[in-house]
Amino acid sequence: MKSDNGLSPAVVVAEAARIAIDAGLPVVALESTIISHGLPKPRNLQVALELEDLVRSGSACPATVAVLDGVARIGLTEAELVRVASEEGFRKLGLRDLPAAMASGASGATTVSATAYLAGLAGIRVFATGGLGGVHRDWMASWDESADLEVLSRCSITIVCAGIKSILDVPASLQRLETLSVTVVGYRTEMFPGFYITSSGEALDWSVDTPDAVASIMRKQDELGISSALVVANPVSLSEQLDPSLHDEVLDEALAAAERGGVRGQALTPFLLDFMRKGTSEGSLEANLAAVRANTALAAKIANSWATTPISRARVPR
């Protein structure tokens, strides 16, 4: 059964987002796992609301994505954002989890993989997050590679991020993105960002300086019929990065603690992020937030460059 816009009734696009998408206005998708599993309560709710406001003040329509009571929602009300930020037992849903969660009426936050897929279904082309998932540092033994990477190889989405989370094996993750034919461009940088830190030390092949330049690449993807993601890697500023030596020191402790505790699978990334936050007296949290804010603001600019109806000719619906 399909509704008017061709989507299943279990996939609901909020009215403001639907109007904006249909009118070709700028829209930015936001993921919810960073809210439910990546940030501490109650700060996470403030951040969820702040990110949506940042998109609006960048003249674009925000659409945070989550699954609530078995319904995939693209665009949440404030009450729904409160559920994502505070409900106990809220699950973490990658793309493969969506059918099971929806069939059982479960609620959960969507990761980059699930968000990219659902945003694409709804016709949203631009998405902002903090740091992508990637290959974990013990990948040769654990085979733990985030589904984010493979899903980005088959979703037509432009994702603005501060690189790959530095708790991961960044060179291996970049190698996987190359194998998967995902285009990666630095935003005003020749070096791939390091999530909490400005540079990962890995060089990039391509760099752009303006939102219009990103939109030009998106148009070329379409002209070529390429339906994989475009990763726009936007580094956290030097003044807002986590001290790199503190980063390396605490990360070693975090990885050792995860190993000792046998933390694996979906729990590993949230465990490492939380360990980093505590071990850096919230320094990693501030760097993470600086990155997400900057990525969200840049995503709004890219959505404006991409939109067929510039915002000056129509107001963003609320």
- List the catalytic residue out of 31, 52, 80, 145: 31
Q: Which of 111, 166, 189, 304 binds ligand PSU (CB under 6 A)?
A: 111
Which of ligand PSU, Mn ion, none has residue 31 at its interface (CB below 5 to 8 Å by kind)? Answer: ligand PSU
Q: Which is nearer to ligand PSU, 55 or 307 (CB)?
A: 55
Which residues, 132 to 171, sit near Mn ion by CB under 5 A? 144
For residue 57, the tally of other CB atoms under 10 A from its CB is: 10
According to DSSP, the residues that pair with 300 across neighbouring strands are none
Q: Is 31 a catalytic residue?
A: yes
Cβ atoms of residues 162 and 193 within 8 Å: yes
* Degrees to nearest 5, angle at CA 146 with 250 and 86: 70
Which residues, 123 to 142, sit near ligand PSU by CB under 6 A? 129-131, 133
Q: Which is nearer to ligand PSU, 31 or 80 (CB)?
A: 31
Q: Which is nearer to ligand PSU, 165 or 301 (CB)?
A: 165
> Is residue 112 within the footprint of ligand PSU (CB under 6 A)?
yes
- List the catalytic residue out of 52, 80, 92, 165: 165
Q: What is the x/- site pattern for Mn ion, positions 96-135, by CB under 5 A?
A: ----------------------------------------
> Is residue 193 within the footprint of ligand PSU (CB under 6 A)?
no
Beta carbon of residue 22, minimum distance to Mn ion (angstroms, whole number): 36
Beta carbon of residue 270, minimum distance to ligand PSU (angstroms, whole number): 7
> Is residue 251 within the footprint of ligand PSU (CB under 6 A)?
no
Q: Alpha helix locations (H) across the chain? A: 15-22, 33-36, 43-57, 78-86, 98-103, 112-122, 139-142, 147-152, 170-179, 211-224, 244-261, 268-279, 283-306
Q: Is 249 a catalytic residue?
A: no
Q: Which residues contact 166 (CB under 8 A, 6 or more apart)?
A: 131, 194, 195, 196, 197, 200, 247, 251
Tell the burial category of 116 from Cβ atoms under 10 Å away from its Cβ (0-12, 13-18, 19+).
Answer: buried
DSSP state of 235: P
Residues binding Mn ion (CB under 5 A)? 144
Q: Which residues are catalytic?
A: 31, 165
